[in-house]
Amino acid sequence: INNLKITYEVNSNLLDKKQSAVAKIKYNDQDQFTFNVIKNGDLYGIKSDEVLYQYLTLNNENLRDVYTKLNVENPDGLPNKIYPINYNIYKNMDPNDKQQILARYQNLLNTQIPENHYSKQENVNVVSNGQTITANAYVLELSAQEFLALKIAFLEQLMSDDITLKYITEFIQMDEAYTVNIKEDIQEKINELKRNAVDEEEILKITAYEANRSLVTTTIETGKEIYKIDNDNKTENQKVTITKTTNEETPVTTTTTLERVTSNANNEFKIRVVSQTGETTTNDFALNFKLEGSTEDSLLNLTIELNSNDHNKINNIKFNSSKDFNAEVTVEELTAENSVRINDM
């Protein structure tokens, strides 16, 4: 696999909503397989001279008809059209909807959790990001039965929360009528939780540590494991470290670090997951994203690098993408002469 390489070239005409790509699979730098992809608006086509001499195309509309023709099970549970995922749904949410949602679930917490379950401790020493600091600790304690009741109450509230369900169906790209399916799934989960037995003596303890009006560390303790979340928001970067430790004779510790570096002109995002059993590291996984340049500079360069060490099996994968926004682009037109449309089969 070390001699295997995948290269691709993409040309985009944003004004005409057209895009083409050529991908090649190489072994020992020799072409083994080539395929072409073209996008004309909502029409997508793919071909490979080794397999297809015409483009096999799919029109991105009325997809449930296509699912039915292909004998796909439960086509009503799949999107009728695929849109780019909108990650800004919460940001662009109607302010009145946002206020109603926050108020609804804040009221749920207020009614489900008695005040005597909250406590505060001042001037507590806590270790955060390797340093001992003095902070105020805000503690919430719930029995396993109380936590189970809270989860059920939350799901029951969601069942009748048409506003939140509307945004969920929008995010998963389904019709609003799909809320019926979501409610059925929620009810199934509620029934499952009600059937579960809980350890009456188990306590869930959540502690948030605050210093200088900033959240520095949060711990979540259960009967089986402890989670610790450290926040490190410096001027040059933002970093969150999540540590999970099991309550076993030989503890298993998993440390996940998320870091965004903004100390230079580039943007970098790093993810690292390290697992240890006792003092032995069993897995070390790192994924780095680095974005250089901008559309204003006409050249944009993206580098993605993955490094993993799983029980001494070492892998390294590197991906690089460069985009030149000044290049003139011509994209082939998909026609009845050079393509076959799946929708019409």
What pLDDT digit, counting tens, does each position of 110-166 carry?
Answer: 999 999 999 999 999 999 888 899 999 999 999 999 999 999 999 999 999 999 999
Report the pLDDT value the prediction gives residue 278, as an integer from 0 to 100: 86
| pLDDT tops 70 at residue 95 | yes
CA dist 17 → 41, 44, 57, 187, 227 (Å): 5, 11, 16, 42, 46
Report the pLDDT value the prediction gives residue 228, as an integer from 0 to 100: 96
Measured in degrees and rounded to the nearest 5, phi and psi for residue 55 equal -75, 135
Q: What is the C-alpha separation between 140 and 118, in angstroms, rounded? A: 5
Report the pLDDT value the prediction gives residue 185, as an integer from 0 to 100: 93
| pLDDT tops 90 at residue 327 | no
What the block records as the tokens of 92 is 């662009």
Report the pLDDT value the prediction gives residue 294, as an integer from 0 to 100: 65
Report the pLDDT value the prediction gives residue 204, as an integer from 0 to 100: 93
Read off the pLDDT band of 296 (50, 70, 90).
Answer: low
**Length of the chain in residues, anyone?**
345
Report the pLDDT value the prediction gives residue 329, as an integer from 0 to 100: 74
Q: Which residues of 70-93 are buried (b: 16+ CB within 10 A; e: fewer)?
A: eeeeebeebebeeeeeeeeeeeee
- Is the pTM higher than 0.75? The answer reads no
Q: What is the C-alpha separation between 120 and 127, in angstroms, rounded? A: 18
Mean pLDDT within 212-238: 87
Mean pLDDT within 185-204: 89
Average pLDDT, the chain: 86
Read off the pLDDT band of 235 (50, 70, 90).
Answer: low
Q: Which helix (H) or strand (E) holds 131?
A: strand 131-143
Percent residues over pLDDT 70 in the chain: 94
